[in-house]
Amino acid sequence: MALIVQKYGGTSVGDTERMKNVARRCIAAQAAGHDVVVVVSAMSGETNRLLKLVSQITDRPNEREQDVVVATGEQVSIGLVALAIQAQGAKATSFLGHQVQIVTDSTFAKARIKRIEAERIVEALKQKHIVVVAGFQGQDEQGNVTTLGRGGSDTTAVALAAALKADACEIYTDVDGVYTTDPNVCPAARKLDRISYEEMLELASLGAKVLQIRSVEFAMKYKVPLWVKSSFSDDPGTLVCEEDKSMENVVVSGIAYEKNEAKLAISGVPDMPGVAAKIFGILDAQNIVVDLIVQTASRDGKTDVSFTVGKTDLSKAREAVEQVAREIKAGGVETDSDVAKISIVGVGMRNHSGVAAKMFQVLSQEGINIQVISTSEIKVSCLVQSKYTELAVRALHTAFGLDKPSTVG
C-alpha cells in the first residue's frame, strides 16, 4: 500500500462532470489499495475572474486583501470534489490551507511554504477518507490567508507529498506529459517518458508552463518523484526525477521559446568601471528582472550594452535606462519587442562538446540572425527576431534528433 498525492488543475475540475471524473479517479486509486490525498485548483477561469473583480475596485490592490479574495476559488473546488466522492460511495473530507495547516511566510500573493502540520490529514487517512486539500493557499504565522502565486497548487501538492513522505506525487493536467517542445509549434514534438529535475526547472523557467517552477524546486530538494499526467487519458505520463547515467546520453532533451521578452540596447556607453553596476542597479531598484545581457568589445573607449527584460517592464525599463544614459553620457537607447528567445536544454551538454556550435549552425542554415547568446551548464539560449520562432524551434528539434518517428500515411 502506498500513499499517493494527486493534484488536479483547473481544467480537470472545470465543471461538475469533470469533478465527478476526478472523484472516480481518486476512488479507483483508493480501491487499488492506496491512501489518497488530492489537491485541487480553482475551476478553470475562476482565479482570473476573481483577479478581475479586484482590478475593478483598484489597480493597486493591497495584497493581503487580494489573497483573501483569490483564495476562495479553491474552497469551492474542494467542497464539490469531496461531495462528488461521497456521492460515489466513498468517504471524503476537505481541508482548506489553514485547516491542514500549511504555514507560509507573509509574502502575500507569492508566499513560500515554511512547514506543514499534517496531523488532521494523517488522522483522516487512517479513517479511510480520501482527503481533498485546497491548492494555492496557506496561512502565515499570524493566521492571515496567503496564496502561493499563479500555478501554486502544484507546489501545494509537492509540499504535501514531501511532508507526508508520499510514495508518489501525480500532477493531473490537460496534457499527457512533458513534451520535447510545444506541440502547437512543432507537430513532431514527442512526449518524454522521463526528465531530470534540473532540466524541468530550466524548461519551466523558460516558459514551458506545465509545472510551477517552485514545485519543481521543492520536488528536487526533497527528492519527490513527480508524475505529470492527463486527467483525460490513461497514458502513464512523464516522470520528473533525479538524473541518472542514461539521461546524459541525450544531448538535448527539450527546446523552449519565450516571446515575452523585449530587448533594450544602449549605444556608446563609456567603457569604465561602475557603468554596468549603475545601469543594472537602477533596473534592480525598480524590481525589473533582467535576463540576457551582452556588452560588445570596446572601441575608442565606448561599448554597446544590450539586454532583455519582460515585455510588461519595457516602458518602465526604457525610462530608467534613458535617464542613466544621459547621466553617463552614452549615445542613444533603442528598444525592440519583436524578439523571441529560443533555448535548448539538456543535462547531456555537460559532457558533450560542440552543442552550442551546432545550434548556431542550424540557425544560420535557416538564415536566422542571432542577436544575443547566453549559455549555462545545461542550456544555450539565442535571441532572434520573433517571426522566426516556429522555424527555429522546428529546425533545432529535427537537428538534435528529437522528432518523433514519422508515421506512414
Annotated binding-site members: 7-10, 47, 74, 173-174, 179, 209-210
- Are 217 and 210 in contact by the 8 Å Cβ rule? The answer is no
Is 151 one of the binding residues for Mg ion (CB under 5 A)? Answer: yes
> Of 41-49, 191-199, 255-263, 377-385, which segment contacts ligand ASP by CB under 6 A?
41-49
Picked from Mg ion, ligand ASP, none, the partner binding residue 35 (CB below 5 to 8 A depending on kind) is: none
Residue 6: contacted member of ligand ASP, Mg ion, none (CB under 5 to 8 Å, by partner type): none
- Count of residues engaged in binding ligand ASP, rule: CB under 6 A: 13
* Residue among 78 and 266 whose Cβ is closer to ligand ASP: 78
Residue 352 φ then ψ, to 5°: -125, 135
The nearest distance, CB 135 to ligand ASP, in angstroms, is 5
Residues 6 or more apart in contact with residue 71 via CB below 8 angstroms: 97, 134, 136, 137, 145, 146, 147
| Short-list 171, 148, 130, CA closest to 70 | 148
Which does residue 150 touch among ligand ASP, Mg ion, none (CB within 5 to 8 A, set by kind)?
ligand ASP
Among 4, 6, 8, 9, binds Mg ion (CB under 5 A): 9
116-125 residues labelled b (16+ CB within 10 A) or e (exposed): bebeebeebb
70, 108 contact by CB (below 8 A): no
Q: Which is nearer to Mg ion, 14 or 151 (CB)?
A: 151
What is the DSSP track for 290-306? EEEEEEPPPBTTEEEEE
By CB under 6 A, tell whether 346 contacts ligand ASP: no
Least distance from C-beta 22 to ligand ASP, angstroms? Answer: 14
| Rounded-to-integer distance, Cα 269 and Cα 263, Å | 16
Pick from 12, 73, 39, 19: which is nearest to 157 by CA? Answer: 39
* Residues in 323-352 at the binding interface with Mg ion, rule: CB under 5 A: none
Q: Which does 152 bind (CB under 5 to 8 A by kind): Mg ion, ligand ASP, none?
A: ligand ASP
Asked whether the beta carbons of 97 and 139 are under 8 A apart, the reply is: yes
Partner from Mg ion, ligand ASP, none contacting 215, C-beta within 5 to 8 A by type: none
Of the pair 12, 308, the CB lying nearest ligand ASP is at 12
Residue type, 73: G
The DSSP letter of residue 191 is B
**Contacting ligand ASP within 55-84 (CB under 6 A):** 73
Q: Which residue has the cell 568601471?
A: 273
The answer to the question of residue 10 lying near ligand ASP (CB under 6 A) is yes
Closest separation in Å from C-beta 52 to ligand ASP = 13
Residue 234 vs residues 20, 84, 177, 297, 355: alpha-carbon distances, Å = 16, 21, 11, 55, 36
Q: Which is nearer to ligand ASP, 41 or 146 (CB)?
A: 41
| Partner that binds at residue 180, options Mg ion, ligand ASP, none, CB closer than 5 to 8 Å by kind | none
Of the candidates 72, 197, 87, the residue with the CA atom closest to the CA atom of residue 135: 72
Q: Which does 136 bind (CB under 5 to 8 A by kind): Mg ion, ligand ASP, none?
A: ligand ASP
Hey, what's the cell of 185?
509549434
User: Is the distance from CB of 44 to CB of 14 less than 8 angstroms?
Assistant: yes
Question: Which of 39-47, 104-112, 268-276, 327-335 is the region at the interface with ligand ASP (rule: CB under 6 A)?
Answer: 39-47
Of Mg ion, ligand ASP, none, which one sits near residue 308, judging by CB under 5 to 8 A according to partner kind?
none
Can you say which residues are annotated as belonging to the binding site for substrate? Answer: 47, 74
Residues from 118 through 177 that contact ligand ASP (CB under 6 A): 135-136, 150-154
Instruction: Pick between residue 158 and residue 349 the one whose CB is nearest to ligand ASP.
Output: 158
Q: How far apart are CA 96 and CA 102, in angstroms?
A: 9
Residues that bind ligand ASP (CB under 6 A): 9-10, 41-42, 47, 73, 135-136, 150-154
Residues that bind Mg ion (CB under 5 A): 9, 151
